Amino acid sequence: MPGNITWKTINISVLLNETFTTERKNDIIGNIKKGDVAMFDERFNKSEDPIMNLGEKEEELMDSYNATEDEENEEYEEFVEADVEDEKIARAKKMINIFFTVIIIIIVAISIDIIAVSRFNKGPFFALPLHNYNDGGSKAYYGIGYKVIKYHQLQGRRDKEIGLWSLKYDTEPTTMKDVDLAIEFTGHEVESFEKYYKKFVRIISTLHKVDEKNHKIIMGYQDEDNKYSLDVVCQIVKDQENIASFEEEKPITIIGTVSDFEWGTGEGNNQLIITNCFAEQ
């Protein structure tokens, strides 16, 4: 039986016991034919057998474990870096969204005040009153990049004006006669109205009609040939209570703000509308 031990039998034993000790090796060699000893010893020492000793196997396992652990650490570090990068991108996007939202809100607020003041003589709604003028109640309002002057003189300018922060307080009206306006507006109605729109003016004319019910007066110019004509309709401020004392077909002077223009119909003349008017005769 001992003489029939083969290299295959030794391999099975190695599989079961993981490795050979020196004593075990000697025991096995004692039971093997001398002719097999050289072959066994050569294979054992050169480690040609696929089964390694326990130390080498443990070292290989540790190397494999370390390599796996390094790969996992690298993957984890890459994951953490990617997560941090994603967080930075998300934070940047949030800040950009907030920035553009604020810009849009500011633009909308400015637009509302510009339209309200310039077209409807209302507001401002998003500007702060930071300066008072000693003229009866005029105030300067400041918004983001713009300024509104709300005029309220005791007897003078009563409109609103919007512009940049450099906008100057100005209560000096542009003075003109009705005949000059009639000539300027004839054939150039649109251009002339755009020129005087929202301007504070003083007009010298002849009173044609007093409308006490609507608190307004109508004056103007018309030549004999009806070549040049223009009516000026003035909405008198409520503060002025002597409108009933005005005499028609007498000279009159008004101050106010140009606000609208209406084309004449039929035999009627074109009308230039003046609001916030004070009149004296």
151 located within any domain: no
pLDDT at site 280: 95
8 located within any domain: yes
Looking at 51, 66, 84, the residue that finishes a domain is: 51
Looking at 13, 29, 51, the residue that finishes a domain is: 51
Q: Find the mean pLDDT for residues 256-260.
A: 96
Number of domains in the chain: 2
57 located within any domain: no
Which phi and psi (to 5°) does residue 146 adopt? -140, 165
63 located within any domain: no
71 located within any domain: no
| Per-residue pLDDT tens digits for 76-115 | 666 677 777 888 888 999 999 999 999 999 999 999 999 9
90 located within any domain: no
- The parent domain of residue 25 ranges over 2-51
44 located within any domain: yes
Distance set, CA 127 to CA 138, 140, 223 (Å): 15, 9, 47
35 located within any domain: yes
Between residues 50 and 189, the one the model is more confident about = 189
Query: What's 214's domain CATH number?
Result: 2.40.50.140
Own/partner pairs for 132-141, CB < 8 Å, 24+ apart?
133/169, 135/171, 138/169, 140/169
**What DSSP string describes 261-278?**
EE---TTPPPEEEEEEEE
| Per-residue pLDDT tens digits for 112-148 | 999 999 888 899 999 999 999 999 999 999 999 999 9
- What predicted TM-score, i.e. pTM, was given to this entire model? 0.66
Residue 151 pLDDT more than 50? yes
